[in-house]
Chain A
């Protein structure tokens, strides 16, 4: 049972345009959400996060939106740059003293010139 789903395995976006990566979750107990970026042969790198008490969090070109009623999370990258080409994982957790983070299966983003 996949509690965190990224239904698009890949996405291609033109440089300079907006990239939108989507993520759905099923567990309403999740209260903290994260996005990670992964280049080949490297471990995932933390990108941005959002607590369930917020519906938006911005950090430079990256914005994460959370729609709790729809159990949906999205990452917007504006403008998209060639260095953004990577695999993006969304993740969710129920924050507690013994947290366990559940990851989605990832979306490969390709930025074309």
Chain B
């Protein structure tokens, strides 16, 4: 089974620009979550989508948005980029079977390294 894929792997943008990152989850997984990883802050939760609906949102400004398509693929958009947005953006998918006591194990993609100049 193919893992989570993210494109592009690396991206360089300038301040004020916008960027769109893409994530394809593991086949059959319906939940997609996005995280920002920076050296000082670790992994910060951005948002989670399930069946094309945003179900959870972290504490990020409205410049960060996302969406999920009917095939569970997800995109994340950051508008008006700032220098502090430079980070590794990780996407994770999970099956999220309701009623399962094991909880929700997420499987991560390799990430997109965004550099804002």
Contact = CB atoms under 8 A, between A and B. Distances in A.
A60 B53 CA distance: 38
Interface string A55-69: 000000000000000
A33 to B, nearest CB: 8
B19 interface: no
Contact of A103 (B35, B104, B109): B35
Contact of B55 (A51, A98, A105): A98
Given A42-B110, A45-B108, A105-B41, A98 B48 contact: yes
Interface of A: 6, 31-32, 34, 36, 41-46, 49, 51, 89, 91, 93, 95, 97-106
Interface of B: 4, 6, 33, 35, 40-45, 48, 50, 55-56, 58, 90, 92, 96, 98, 101-111
30 contacts: A32-B104, A34-B103, A42-B110, A43-B90, A43-B109, A44-B43, A44-B92, A44-B108, A45-B108, A46-B105, A46-B106, A51-B101, A51-B102, A51-B103, A89-B43, A93-B104, A95-B101, A95-B103, A97-B98, A99-B48, A99-B56, A100-B48, A100-B58, A102-B45, A103-B35, A103-B44, A105-B40, A105-B42, A105-B43, A106-B43
